[in-house]
Structure 1
């Protein structure tokens, strides 16, 4: 077993802007230590200032969460719009006919297919 872990850090600092870094860190490192050693806390001060959410492979994590080899640490920004509100607004804009999963059907097909 190797004494180094391969860790990937992911952060979307703005829409359509994703930063990704791969690190080799010693065994037993935590999420907070990985961020510190990567230099991202000084490069992106909003991570610490805004107390952004952290995750490992899409699951919520804390700074004291230990990392394993191959983990992907993700830093999440706050949502600017509630997804439910955005969906309702899109539905109002489209109208009832243009919304839904099965709006485009092939001629002669059963409904729902």
Structure 2
């Protein structure tokens, strides 16, 4: 008897291009196992598929090694942040404060 299968998607958006893969995986497949089985690492060798952050429909998965997929799930592979968003906001606020101070003199 054939193993029951489900359909899922794996997506990754690099700076220059993006890729969406439709996959059929066995019921009980984990998020990390599906990412590794997708073959997307061959197209984006810079990705650390064993440790990169991933999500399902925009919500980060805390434990992708144990989270089991459901039919129709879309796994999103996240790029590492180039800068801390809090630090960017701090720098922007400091720059605005400096500009305001200079305009008042």
Structure 1 consecutive aligned stretches of length 4 or more whose deviation exceeds 3 Å: 92-98
TM-score by length of 2: 0.68
Question: How many residues of Structure 1 are paired with residues of Structure 2 in the alignment?
Answer: 95
Q: 1:66 aligns with which of 65, 68, 73?
A: 68
TM-score by length of 1: 0.64
What is the 5 A alignment of 1:34-113?
Answer: 34-48=34-48, 51-57=51-57, 58-60=59-61, 61-95=63-97
Corresponding residue number in structure 1 for 2:103 = none
Change (3 A) 1:70 1:50: closer
Change (3 A) 1:33 1:68: same
State the shift of 1:49 in Å.
6.9
Tell me the distance in 2 between the aligned counterparts of 1:49 and 1:73: 12
RMSD: 2.7
Gapped regions of structure 2 (runs ≥ 5)? 101-105
Tell me the distance in 1 between the aligned counterparts of 2:43 and 2:79: 16
**Contact 2:41–2:49 (CA<8 Å) still a contact in 1?**
no
Q: How far does the alpha carbon of each residue in 1:64-112 deviate from its partner, in whole angstroms, 9 at most, with x for none?
A: 32111111111122211111111122223344999xxxxxxxxxxxxxx
Larger radius of gyration: 1
